Amino acid sequence: MTERYYTTSTAFLEALAEAGVEYVFANLGSDYPGLIEALAQARAEGRAGEMPQLVVCPHEMVALSAAHAYAAVSHTPQAVIVHVDAGTQNLGSSIANAMRGRAPVLVFAGTAPYTMLGELPGSRNEHIHWIQDVHDQRGIMRGYVKYDNEIRTGKNVKQLVHRALQIAASEPAGPVYLTGPREVMEEPLEPHAVDPRPRVDLAASQLPRRPPHAPWLAAHDQRAEPDARAGRRDPHRGLRRAVYPHQQPPVAGCRHLRG
């Protein structure tokens, strides 16, 4: 292992910078010693310019609202860091605003450590780590984000961050949510770089308006046949479900569903 201090937190911050994220709007807590140390180490080594700039916010709703606004004016994805389940809940209506405002924002929250006796760096060391160990922290956000996942190892953290940002920025844009326990975020790694470009380039919209080559698409009858019982035109009559083969453009990005 190299002598240089390099952990999952370092790789996480580098991945954000590689993807063009300039600022991280944060309200930090006890789950982020790894991130704080990575930023301090980068500054000590003269590499602060290689990391996103930390913007400390007095409340989580302020952090996400600021990221939402900056994403709107810069047309680039932004990042927010909050503290475990409590900080996630403190996002409040700002996550609903980001979802309905189609703001491309990556929200990251730590989770309670999963070791108790110092087996790994970042192990539990205060009573709050038991109280904050909730059953389904990602479920708090699942109704308001396009994608949620957990960082389980530093070995693929950069790929996970780049994929989350790709999903956030893909139209219709919207927030995504990642979590990671303290042990994983302090996992030692070898320094490495990953190409932030998506593996498959996706257009803003792959759904053709009138696909002439799609006889398997049952179209909506725009004439809306009258409802005989009420004497009214039923706008839903004639509506059919569209079924696309996996190789067609409308399902680009969903090819992982193939068996």
- What CATH number is given to the structural domain containing 87? 3.40.50.970
123 and 32 share one domain: yes
Here the tokens at position 250 are: 């409308």
Does a structural domain hold residue 150? yes
Domain boundary among 185, 219, 241: 185
Does a structural domain hold residue 132? yes
212 and 179 share one domain: no
165 and 254 share one domain: no
40 and 113 share one domain: yes
Does a structural domain hold residue 196? no
Amino acid 153: pLDDT: 94
Domain boundary among 185, 212, 245: 185
Amino acid 150: pLDDT: 96
Paired residues of 232 in beta bridges: 227
C-alpha pair distances (Å), 113 with each of 60, 77, 131, 245? 21, 29, 11, 43
Domain boundary among 185, 211, 236: 185
Amino acid 232: pLDDT: 55
| pLDDT tens digits, 198-256 | 655 455 555 555 555 554 444 444 444 454 545 555 554 544 445 556 566 655 555 44
Does a structural domain hold residue 2? no
Cβ neighbours of residue 44 under 8 Å, at least 6 residues apart? Answer: none
Does a structural domain hold residue 195? no
16 and 105 share one domain: yes
71 and 149 share one domain: yes
pTM for the structure as a whole: 0.76
Amino acid 256: pLDDT: 44
Amino acid 250: pLDDT: 59
Question: Phi and psi dihedrals of 142, rounded to 5?
Answer: -60, -30
Does a structural domain hold residue 3? no
211 and 137 share one domain: no
Amino acid 223: pLDDT: 45
179 and 212 share one domain: no
41 and 139 share one domain: yes
Does a structural domain hold residue 54? yes
Check if the beta carbon of residue 24 is closer than 8 Å to that of residue 48. no
Regions of the chain where pLDDT drops below 70: 1-2, 198-259
163 and 101 share one domain: yes
Does a structural domain hold residue 197? no
Domain hosting residue 21, numbered range? 8-185
13 and 53 share one domain: yes
Q: What domain count does the chain have?
A: 2
Amino acid 257: pLDDT: 43
| CA gyration radius, the chain | 22
57 and 175 share one domain: yes
